[in-house]
């Protein structure tokens, strides 16, 4: 049996290179963080999942150790990520990361053998009758970001944990992870808010051929749990699961159950290949 490999890939000499951490052995699994965050939020999750997969964690363009390589659009972000990403991997995307993973599953299908979206939506902005974040909230974040981006990111962390029984601890864990790495690039933050406000991938959902698992938090105030039934209509062949005690960060609030869902989906994906 081959020895488990743990390595960090970070080619800082190129402005387009991103920071990756690769741990474990087995089927490739990519973890994508959300807006304002970085790959450190996945630390505890990756420690468990590396026992089952070869786990790839990236700081997305403009965030953390990849702060010097921002991108303006979802496709630009995808192109930078795919430069060092494995092919035929399971992609797990949280929030904005879920939007990116969904785009990659549709437009760069050879990279994706399975898609998992976490507290995510094909369209984040509300637009009757579609449920989501009120446009005013996104606009307020944009204005606040220009004045004080660190305070804005902290407010967003609090909003993500709101409603969870462990909200205080969830926010503490998010802050500890995010602030352990360089601050995000302000232009990337603004571009990310624009994506959340404008991107609509609903028409592409039915064209994704990879197996799909959608994970939601019952108490999520950013991606209402009723979005699950709305998306079911677009992709009835997909699976979904709702974490009863979680808000927007189920991998922190209910970590054991979260990892169990990923491992089970991974085994199903391998079996069906």
pLDDT tens per residue across span 123-168:
999 998 999 998 888 888 888 887 887 888 888 899 889 888 999 9
The yes-or-no answer on residue 95 being catalytic is yes
Please state which of the four CATH numbers 3.40.50.1820, 3.90.1150.10, 3.30.43.10, 1.20.1250.20 is assigned to the domain occupying 5-272.
3.40.50.1820
Q: What is the mean pLDDT of the chain?
A: 91
CA distance 204 to 21: 30
Q: Going by C-beta distance under 8 Å and a sequence separation of 6 or more, which residues neighbour residue 184?
A: 36, 38, 62, 63, 64, 67, 149, 153
Mean pLDDT of 70-81: 95
pTM: 0.93
Nearest to 58 by CA among 103, 92, 88, 25: 92
What pLDDT, on the 0 to 100 scale, is given for residue 16?
A: 67
Band of the pLDDT at 202, cuts 50, 70, 90? very high
Active-site residue among 33, 103, 220, 238? Answer: 220
Backbone angles phi, psi at 69, to 5 degrees: -130, 65
Nearest to 249 by CA among 105, 50, 42: 42
CA distance 109 to 141: 33
The yes-or-no answer on residue 248 being catalytic is yes
CA distance 260 to 48: 10
Active-site residue among 33, 65, 106, 248? Answer: 248
DSSP bridge pairs for 19: 10
Residue-range domain boundaries for the chain: 5-272
What pLDDT, on the 0 to 100 scale, is given for residue 143?
A: 86
Band of the pLDDT at 272, cuts 50, 70, 90? confident
Q: Give tens-digit pLDDT for 28-37.
A: 999 999 999 9
Q: Which two tokens stand for residue 271?
A: 């079996």
Active-site residue among 17, 66, 95, 121? Answer: 95
Q: Give tens-digit pLDDT for 84-120.
A: 999 999 999 999 999 999 999 999 999 999 999 999 9
Q: With 50 as the cut, is the pLDDT of residue 12 above it?
A: no
Specify whether the CB–CB gap between 113 and 73 falls below 8 A.
Answer: no
Q: With 50 as the cut, is the pLDDT of residue 63 above it?
A: yes
CA distance 43 to 57: 9
Mean pLDDT of 44-55: 98
């Amino acid at each position: 049996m081959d020895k488990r490999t743990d390595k960090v890939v970070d080619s800082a000499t190129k402005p387009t290179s991103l920071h990756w951490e690769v741990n474990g052995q087995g089927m490739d699994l990519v973890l994508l963080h959300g807006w304002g965050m970085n790959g450190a939020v996945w630390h505890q999750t990756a420690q468990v999942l590396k026992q089952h997969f070869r786990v790839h964690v990236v700081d997305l363009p403009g965030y953390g150790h990849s702060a010097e390589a921002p991108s303006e659009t979802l496709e630009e972000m995808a192109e930078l990520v795919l430069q060092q990403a494995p092919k035929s991997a399971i992609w797990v995307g949280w929030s904005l990361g879920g939007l990116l993973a969904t785009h990659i599953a549709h437009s760069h299908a050879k990279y994706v053998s399975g898609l998992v979206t976490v507290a995510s939506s094909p369209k984040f902005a509300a637009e009757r009758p579609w449920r989501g974040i009120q446009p005013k909230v996104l606009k307020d974040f944009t204005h606040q970001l220009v004045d004080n981006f660190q305070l804005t990111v902290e407010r967003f962390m609090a909003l993500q944990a709101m409603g969870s029984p462990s909200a205080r601890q969830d926010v503490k864990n998010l802050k500890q992870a995010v602030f352990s790495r360089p601050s995000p690039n302000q232009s990337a933050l603004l571009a990310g808010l624009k994506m959340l406000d404008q991107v609509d991938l609903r028409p592409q959902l039915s064209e994704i051929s990879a197996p799909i698992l959608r994970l939601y938090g019952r108490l999520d105030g950013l991606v209402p749990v009723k979005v699950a039934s709305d998306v079911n209509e677009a992709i009835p062949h997909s699976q979904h699961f709702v974490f009863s005690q979680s808000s927007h960060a189920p991998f922190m609030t209910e970590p054991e159950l979260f990892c169990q869902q990923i491992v089970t989906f991974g085994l199903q994906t391998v079996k069906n290949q």
